[in-house]
Amino acid sequence: MKFSSILRYAFLGIFNAGSVYLIPLIITFESWFLLSVLIFIMFLINFTFLTDKFAALKWITPGVIFMFSFVVFPAAYNTYVSFTNWSTGHILTKTQAIDLLEARTYTPEDQRGVEFDIYIFEDDNQEYYFGADLNENEFLFGKAVSQDLIKEATFARHEPSLKNSSGEIVPPEGFKLLLGKDQINLANKLQELSLVIDTSTRAQLYKISVFGSSTGRLLSTSQRYSYDSDNDILYDNSTNPTCSSDGDNFLCNGESVDPGWRVFVGSENYKKLFSNQRIRGPLELVTKWTFQFATLTVFLAFSVGLLLSITLNKEKLKFKRLYRALYILPYAIPAFVSVLVWKGLLNPDYGVINTWLDPFYTFFDIEPIKWLKTKESARAAVLLVNTWLGFPYMFLITTGALQSIPKELTEAAKVDGATGVQSFWRITFPLLMVSISPLLIGSFAFNFNNFTLIFLLSGGGPPVIGSEVAVGWTDILISFSYRLAISGGRGNLFGLASSVTIIIFGIVLLISALSFRYTKRLERIYGNI
């Protein structure tokens, strides 16, 4: 067997084993779409690599899978989420939510009695164990666990040997009996622990005694919620109300029971964006600023880059290479590092920029600029930093484009009597735009979603006072979406945030389509020059 065949079968074996392992996990979470995608990929991979008739597919299949995994699937899944109520309290499926509710327990008031002597032990790992002396014939010993580990705890075991003939407690080997003083020092920690006796009964420390054994209390738990699948009703056994389904939640006495479950809500999220004034107002503000931010950034960066490239395009200019190296230096530094440095420079109290501008403030008797603290200064700072980050890229592409324009065209224009300005605007600039228009469109799309700059520099702030939704004056659509999805303060609204990202995609797609149409028009006019 050829070595290539061995590698092929080894790859298929590992891939299929991993896929078979993932299938039960996906079924557990009831993610049927993801399951169908996995099965399709399994079929495609095995069909391609086990047949010789489709040899060409062996080369393109990995690229197709990666494209589907990292481009198509995230976009499709994000679109799906935008049509759901996916949010805090509505993450699980209905089956998962019901299972979680039925696993909850409570302790009835009439089952909080039965007091007994309880002893506290500590092992060498500083973990605590309870000994419950229920009666003469029943001494239970086991590890004490916190509330969040109750379900994972092992039951207490009978240990009659812990009492000697004199009735004194003899700790097992490797354990130390904690006396009253030690228990008092650890009281807060010990009272949060329980000894699990059976599926519904646990022992807890009730009262610490300084001189003798402490007092424990048995707590018998019962299932709090039970579900009637025939009538789609949830019963609360603790207060005995009937909880009806409200589509994505159970309602008990008019109050929703968490958790709910995710459901398909159609266009509800999109309607909320445009009809709910609490969200529509901030959305309009953010959308307007996003267009301003992206447009001004591209214009300023392109203007600075073009000016510098024209300046350095002079043939007789000395130290041209040095200047070009210095101008592209900001492009060589990672953006997130530069942004954090600029944030320090723009500090209104201790930043270097205000220190440099202090004579100017003193001369004109004006207050120092509170960078990033007010609407105007924050937006100016964001544009300033983004221009500084973007102009090296514009400088590089315009330099290359200028050098590709035939010099014979400008020389002919001079012979015909055209001035330098006329030659630039009538010949150089149109030809320049033919080359770099697609790159300007790409730059606009990038800055339309420039989350890194906004998040690290201003955090979207300063906040808009009076807004019922968390939003800042420098928030763009993508950072506003982040606030809705992650840091809204009223729960994570993933479905609503996803609908915002779909709107962003639509806007960028429309602008790109119109821009490329304009670019093709330029190519038809100037492409043959």
For residue 14, the domain's CATH number is 1.20.58
Residue 522: predicted pLDDT: 61
* One domain, residues 179 and 211: yes
Residue 378: predicted pLDDT: 94
* One domain, residues 195 and 338: no
* One domain, residues 113 and 75: no
Rounded Cα distance, 346 and 355, in Å: 10
* One domain, residues 63 and 191: no
* One domain, residues 195 and 290: no
**Own/partner pairs for 68-72, CB < 8 Å, 24+ apart?**
68/37, 68/41
Is position 22 within any domain?
yes
* One domain, residues 425 and 508: yes
Strand, helix or coil at 202? strand
Residue 273: predicted pLDDT: 87
Is position 256 within any domain?
no
Residue 35 burial (C-beta neighbours within 10 Å; 0-12, 13-18, 19+): middle
Is position 504 within any domain?
yes
Is position 194 within any domain?
yes
Q: What is the DSSP letter of 261?
A: -
Q: What phi and psi, each to the nearest 5 degrees, are found at residue 143?
A: -70, 135
One-letter amino acid at 290 equals T
- Residues contacting 170, CB < 8 A, separation 6+: 161, 162, 163, 164
* One domain, residues 161 and 217: yes
Helix (H) or strand (E) holding 222: strand 222-223
Among candidate residues 188, 223, 258, the one where a domain is terminated: 223
Residue 518: predicted pLDDT: 72
Is position 260 within any domain?
no
Total structural domains in the chain?
A: 3
* One domain, residues 57 and 156: no
Residue 377: predicted pLDDT: 93
* One domain, residues 54 and 153: no
Which residues are paired to 122 by β-bridges?
Answer: 128, 176
Residue 136: predicted pLDDT: 72
Q: Which residue has the tokens 């429309």?
A: 510
Q: How many Cα atoms within 13 Å fall on the side-chain side of residue 510?
A: 6
324 is in which domain, residue-wise?
Answer: 272-526
Strand, helix or coil at 138? strand
pTM of the complete model beyond 0.85: no
Query: Closest by alpha carbon to 85, among 496, 486, 482?
Result: 496
Is position 321 within any domain?
yes
* One domain, residues 383 and 468: yes
Give the torsion sign (CA, 176, 179, 181, 187). Answer: positive
Q: What is the pLDDT along the chain (529 residues), one digit of tens a residue?
A: 577 677 777 878 888 898 888 888 888 777 777 888 888 888 888 888 777 776 677 777 778 878 887 888 888 889 999 999 998 888 888 888 998 888 887 777 666 667 888 888 888 888 899 888 877 777 888 888 887 787 778 888 887 777 777 777 888 888 888 887 788 888 888 888 888 888 778 888 888 877 667 888 887 777 888 999 888 899 988 877 788 888 889 998 888 888 899 999 999 999 988 888 888 888 999 999 999 999 999 999 999 999 988 888 777 777 777 877 788 777 778 888 899 999 999 988 888 998 898 888 888 888 889 999 999 999 999 999 999 999 999 999 998 888 888 888 877 878 777 787 888 888 888 888 888 888 888 899 899 989 999 999 999 989 998 887 888 999 999 999 888 887 555 567 889 889 999 998 888 888 888 877 777 766 665 555 5
Asked whether 140 and 102 are in contact (CB, 8 A), the reply is no
Is position 266 within any domain?
no
* One domain, residues 64 and 122: no
Is position 32 within any domain?
yes
- Could you give the angle at the alpha carbon of 422 between the alpha carbons of 419 and 424, nearest 5°? 110
Rounded Cα distance, 462 and 474, in Å: 7
* One domain, residues 179 and 298: no
Domain at 336, CATH number: 1.10.3720.10
